[in-house]
Amino acid sequence: AEHQHVRYNPLRDDWVLVSAHRVKRPWQGQLEKPPPEDVPRWDPKNPLCPGATRANGEVNPKYEGTFVFPNDFPALQPDAPEPDDTDHPLFRAAPAQGVCKVMCFHPWSDLTLPLMSLPEIRAVIDAWAEQMTELGASYPWVQIFENKGEMMGCSNPHPHCQVWASSFLPNEARLEDRTQCQHLSQHGVPMLLEYAEQEARRKERLVVENADWLVVVPYWATWPYQTLLLPRRHVCRLQDLSDSEKDSLASIMQRLLIKYDNLFEVSFPYSMGWHGAPTGTYLEKDCRHWQLHAHYFPPLLRSATVRKFMVGYEMLAQAQRDLTPEQAAERLRSLPEVHYKKRAE
């Protein structure tokens, strides 16, 4: 905890430098603005609100639960032409087609996931599984991800996520496919299933757990309060979860996100996303090496206004963190599971 060392990340086949003593240095860098607390519940000018008009002129229905629609500015389109052939191996290109969607979690703009009810969170999980099934029938990779907060590049405070389906396996998916396949071949057990069992027994990086799930600050975490959400049984894809596992997933997500908000008593920014076995033609292949999991990457380090920057050494050498994963887990674990906005109720 006091001396620098490097830790191996078997999921990405890389290393992170841990320098716990650096957290004691005074901060003289940039201070971020806390997120606004006065988000209106409904704003006719907000393109994600029920009944609002979006940039393309379409009017949203007056939805009362989740709402999924095609992204008006998609990064991937299903009918994109193939690139021209190249004349040199250093200038390679390949086709890229896909579909991008936006999913609103709730009709209210001021209600983030940790403030939603368990049935409302379960409805989000069901919508995620539906999108994975629908898009995964055609596309090999379906990436569900949520950018929460302006600090993570989110331009709209309305609670929502995105779903991008691609005709190719993205870099992180290809990397995790390779490392998990190698682990199963060498050790005879899926990597993250074995890892979850180890963390459940050791408990030093455990944040929250229930009968079906556990959340840990991974041993190899890069971001200060990064967490990994893992099922206890072997399950390859989000759509493979049972009803009871979806209920307990809603519960553990709520508990984790309340702790995040309680850490600095602010709507906690993060990027999160689900990783599971590829889909499309991979549905017919052996994907036993995969284990479903969700990554949470929050940027905050010392307070609601001081963030972790990935620059310099991180960009040119390797990832580096100050707070140890064990210290981060202990702090998150000790936080109350009643949201700070509801304590006076």
Domain CATH code at residue 319: 3.30.428.10
Q: In what order do the strands lie in the sheet with 213-216?
A: 67-70, 98-104, 160-166, 141-148, 270-275, 293-297, 227-231, 213-216, 206-209
CA pair distance 41, 52, nearest whole angstrom: 13
- Return the closest-CA partner of residue 204 out of 194, 191, 218, 192: 218
- Per the listing, tokens 């390679």 go with 92
Burial (CB < 10 A; 0-12, 13-18, 19+), residue 103, is: buried
- Per the listing, tokens 């990783």 go with 275
pLDDT greater than 70 at residue 281: yes
pLDDT band at 337 (very low <50, low <70, confident <90, very high): very high
pLDDT greater than 90 at residue 30: no
Binding site as annotated, residues for UDP-alpha-D-glucose: 22-25, 55, 71-72, 147, 153-155, 162, 308-309, 313-314, 320
Q: Say if 46 falls within a structural domain.
A: yes
What was the pLDDT predicted at 301? 87
What was the pLDDT predicted at 28? 59
134 neighbors 142 (Cβ within 8 angstroms)? no
- Per the listing, tokens 């206004």 go with 305
In percent, how much of the chain has pLDDT > 90? 86
pLDDT greater than 90 at residue 57: yes
Number of alpha helices (DSSP H) and beta strands (DSSP E) in the chain: 6, 14
Q: Say if 5 falls within a structural domain.
A: no
Q: Say if 173 falls within a structural domain.
A: yes
177 neighbors 275 (Cβ within 8 angstroms)? no
**How large is the average pLDDT for residues 201-227?**
98
pLDDT band at 1 (very low <50, low <70, confident <90, very high): low
Q: Determine which one of 106, 158, 160, 183 is catalytic.
A: 160
**How large is the average pLDDT for residues 247-264?**
97
pLDDT greater than 80 at residue 27: no
Residue 91 CB contacts under 8 Å (≥ 6 apart), including other chains: none
Residue 1 CB contacts under 8 Å (≥ 6 apart), including other chains: 20, 324, 326, 327
Q: Would you call 126 helix, strand, or coil by DSSP?
A: helix
Maximum Cα–Cα distance across the chain: 68
| Cα 121 versus chain centre, distance | 15
Q: Say if 15 falls within a structural domain.
A: no
CA pair distance 43, 108, nearest whole angstrom: 9
CA pair distance 40, 38, nearest whole angstrom: 6
DSSP, res 59: B
| Cα 48 versus chain centre, distance | 21
pTM over 0.85: yes
Binding site as annotated, residues for Fe cation: 176, 275, 293, 295
Q: Would you call 234 helix, strand, or coil by DSSP?
A: coil
254 neighbors 118 (Cβ within 8 angstroms)? yes
165 neighbors 137 (Cβ within 8 angstroms)? no
Domain with 181, as residue range(s), is: 38-80+92-336
Burial 147-170 (b: 16+ CB within 10 A, else e): bbbbbbebeebbbbbbbbbbbbbe
Binding site as annotated, residues: 22-25, 55, 71-72, 147, 153-155, 162, 176, 275, 293, 295, 308-309, 313-314, 320
- Per the listing, tokens 């005074």 go with 26
pLDDT greater than 70 at residue 205: yes
What was the pLDDT predicted at 23? 63
Structure tokens at 175: 């990397």
* Torsional sign, CA 104, 108, 114, 119: negative
pLDDT greater than 90 at residue 163: yes
Q: Say if 182 falls within a structural domain.
A: yes
What was the pLDDT predicted at 345? 61
**How many C-beta atoms lie closer than 10 Å to residue 320's C-beta?**
18
Q: Say if 23 falls within a structural domain.
A: no
pLDDT greater than 80 at residue 21: no
What was the pLDDT predicted at 266? 93
> Which helix (H) or strand (E) segment is 328 a member of?
helix 325-333
Residue 160 annotated to the active site: yes
Q: Would you call 337 helix, strand, or coil by DSSP?
A: coil
pLDDT greater than 90 at residue 25: no
Q: Tell me the pLDDT tens digit for each residue of 293-327.
A: 999 999 998 888 888 889 999 999 999 998 999 99
Structure tokens at 190: 């899926």
For 144, list phi and psi in degrees, rounded to 5.
-95, 125
Domain count within the chain: 1
pLDDT greater than 90 at residue 10: yes
Q: Say if 345 falls within a structural domain.
A: no
Lowest-confidence region among 32-41, 115-124, 218-227, 283-292: 32-41
Q: Say if 7 falls within a structural domain.
A: no
pLDDT band at 343 (very low <50, low <70, confident <90, very high): confident
